[in-house]
């Protein structure tokens, strides 16, 4: 009697990011091509387990040509948490636990394993399912780079490259008009994108959530630059940056079924500065341009390594684990540890000290 091929489910959850398709392609090539397994793609994250007709077989044909493509061919959502699933009934928001429905779908699909490609939120959901007995392997993705178990997540490099290019462009117009240009970047509650892009793009001030700022200290920096003959200044503001003793600026508060949506601090800082400095101030919000488009070579490579590694971990029966990059090597770690703690910028770490040595102000008066 021939044994049926193992069947892996795969889904992409949470906000999209460049490199997701590289992971999907690598996982399908490694599982279907190398091991002769079947791979079932689940559309729109975990929601695909709750809604009919959202699964499809993935073969070489489906993943051909997708390596340089942004987004995810499977679709994604950051509102489809089966443990707190939101629907609107007769005008009322209803949030319910539909994890039993998701478990039933996993059984009906005959999945021997489930690869969850996601950030902190989706990996936590994956971990909850693994505690309920689902064989899960996690793959860390997010432009925010805030997962502590991996040195870097794919998508981050592309976001930093996009933000750095934006800073280069802002430099030339800032210089022509003798203006203060502010670029607000994403990153949620951590400042990795702002810090990396700010250093690479030669920013004069970088505001990050890990180092609360005061407007007065930023003004001091801008005045100092003018006093030394620099007629323009460039600032990067992470969306989660907060004034000393203040709060994060939000577009939408945290709810049971989704994370808070940050944004608006760049405008706030811009208005406060405009009232205090002689130069004109302009604000650019880079927004989802950081998430869209083709991944960099680094993210394609990392995504490919993660996708292939996730299949290797599944083949070895390493359920409840997440692939990660540590010291240049691909390793796997317990999902439980991977979702425990966010990785934030060390305020006195080497990168911050390097930036300070370049004369960058963090708005904290140091």
Among the listed ranges 43-51, 110-118, 142-150, 223-231, the one in contact with ligand F6P (CB under 6 A) is 142-150
The residue annotated as part of the active site, out of 44, 144, 146, 332, is 144
Among the listed ranges 184-192, 227-235, 274-282, 319-327, the one in contact with ligand F6P (CB under 6 A) is 184-192
**Six-digit token pair at 213?**
């700022």
Minimum distance of ligand F6P from residue 44's CB (angstroms): 14
Q: Which is nearer to ligand F6P, 29 or 188 (CB)?
A: 188
305 binds ligand F6P (CB under 6 A): no
**Six-digit token pair at 227?**
């006093």
Minimum distance of ligand F6P from residue 28's CB (angstroms): 25
Q: Which is nearer to ligand F6P, 287 or 365 (CB)?
A: 287
209 binds ligand F6P (CB under 6 A): no
Q: Are 103 and 114 in contact (CB under 8 A)?
A: no
Q: Which is nearer to ligand F6P, 142 or 361 (CB)?
A: 142
What does each C-alpha distance from 1 to 4, 37, 52, 135 come to in angstroms?
9, 17, 33, 25
Minimum distance of ligand F6P from residue 84's CB (angstroms): 16
Please pick, from the candidates 18, 187, 266, 318, the single residue that binds ligand F6P as defined by CB under 6 A: 187
Please pick, from the candidates 144, 157, 204, 332, the single residue that binds ligand F6P as defined by CB under 6 A: 144
19 binds ligand F6P (CB under 6 A): no
Q: Are 15 and 121 in contact (CB under 8 A)?
A: no
Minimum distance of ligand F6P from residue 143's CB (angstroms): 5
Q: Are 244 and 209 in contact (CB under 8 A)?
A: no
**Six-digit token pair at 126?**
């994956």
- Within residues 321-360, the interface with ligand F6P by CB under 6 A covers none
Handedness of CA 273, 277, 282, 287 (dihedral sign): negative
188 binds ligand F6P (CB under 6 A): yes
First vs last C-alpha separation in the chain:
73
Please pick, from the candidates 29, 54, 291, 305, the single residue that binds ligand F6P as defined by CB under 6 A: 291
Read off φ and ψ for residue 323, nearest 5 degrees. Answer: -75, 150
What does each C-alpha distance from 338 to 27, 146, 196 come to in angstroms?
21, 11, 23
Give the nearest residue (CB) to ligand F6P: 186
Minimum distance of ligand F6P from residue 90's CB (angstroms): 26
The rounded distance, in Å, linking the Cα atoms of 156 and 254 is 23
What does each C-alpha distance from 39 to 72, 173, 280, 306 come to in angstroms?
16, 49, 55, 16
The rounded distance, in Å, linking the Cα atoms of 247 and 272 is 16
Q: What is the dihedral of CA 307, 308, 312, 317, to 10 degrees?
A: 10
Q: Which is nearer to ligand F6P, 43 or 146 (CB)?
A: 146
Among the listed ranges 44-52, 131-139, 186-194, 241-249, the one in contact with ligand F6P (CB under 6 A) is 186-194
- Tell me which residue of 116, 148, 145, 133 sits closest to 46, measured CA to CA: 116
Binding mask 44-83 for ligand F6P (x = CB under 6 A): ----------------------------------x-----
Minimum distance of ligand F6P from residue 260's CB (angstroms): 8
Q: Which residue has the tokens 């951590």?
A: 190
Q: Which residue has the tokens 């397994």?
A: 37
Minimum distance of ligand F6P from residue 248's CB (angstroms): 10
Q: Which helix (H) or strand (E) holds 117?
A: strand 113-118
Please pick, from the candidates 10, 11, 12, 15, the single residue that binds ligand F6P as defined by CB under 6 A: 15
Q: Which helix (H) or strand (E) holds 306?
A: helix 297-315
53 is catalytic: no
Please pick, from the candidates 32, 49, 160, 186, the single residue that binds ligand F6P as defined by CB under 6 A: 186
Q: Any bridge partners for residue 322, and if so which?
A: 138, 333
Residues that bind ligand F6P (CB under 6 A): 15, 78, 119, 142-144, 186-188, 239, 261-262, 291
């Amino acid at each position: 009697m021939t044994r049926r091929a193992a069947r892996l489910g795969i889904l992409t959850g949470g906000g999209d990011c460049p490199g997701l398709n590289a992971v999907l392609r690598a996982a399908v090539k490694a599982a279907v091509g190398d091991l002769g397994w079947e791979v079932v793609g689940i559309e729109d994250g975990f929601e695909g387990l709750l809604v009919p007709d959202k699964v499809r077989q993935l073969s070489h044909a489906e993943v051909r040509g997708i390596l340089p493509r942004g987004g995810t061919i499977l679709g994604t959502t950051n509102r489809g948490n089966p443990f707190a699933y939101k629907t609107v009934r007769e005008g009322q928001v209803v949030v319910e636990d539909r994890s039993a429905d998701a478990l039933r779908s996993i059984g009906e699909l005959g999945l021997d394993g489930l690869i969850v490609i996601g950030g902190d939120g989706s990996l936590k959901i994956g971990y909850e399912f693994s505690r309920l007995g689902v064989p899960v392997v996690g793959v860390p993705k997010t432009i925010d780079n805030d997962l502590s178990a991996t040195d870097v997540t794919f998508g981050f490099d592309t976001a930093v490259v996009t933000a750095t290019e934006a800073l280069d462009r802002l430099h030339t117009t800032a210089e022509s008009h003798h203006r203060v240009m502010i670029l607000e970047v994403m990153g949620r509650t951590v400042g990795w994108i702002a810090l990396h892009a700010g250093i690479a793009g030669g920013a004069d001030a970088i505001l990050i959530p890990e180092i609360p700022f005061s407007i007065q200290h930023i003004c001091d920096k801008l005045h100092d630059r003018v006093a030394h003959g620099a007629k323009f200044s460039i600032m990067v503001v992470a969306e989660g940056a907060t004034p000393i003793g203040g709060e994060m600026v939000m577009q939408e508060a945290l709810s049971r079924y989704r994370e808070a949506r940050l944004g608006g601090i760049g405008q706030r800082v811009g208005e406060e500065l405009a009232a205090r400095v002689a130069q004109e101030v302009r604000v650019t919000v880079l927004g989802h341009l950081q998430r869209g488009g083709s991944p960099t070579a680094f993210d394609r490579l990392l995504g490919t390594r993660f996708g292939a590694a996730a299949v290797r971990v599944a083949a070895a029966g390493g359920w409840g684990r997440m692939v990660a990059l540590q010291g240049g090597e691909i390793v796997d770690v317990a999902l439980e540890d991977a979702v425990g703690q966010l990785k934030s910028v060390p305020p006195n770490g080497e990168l911050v000290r390097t930036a300070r040595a370049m004369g960058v102000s963090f708005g904290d008066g140091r």
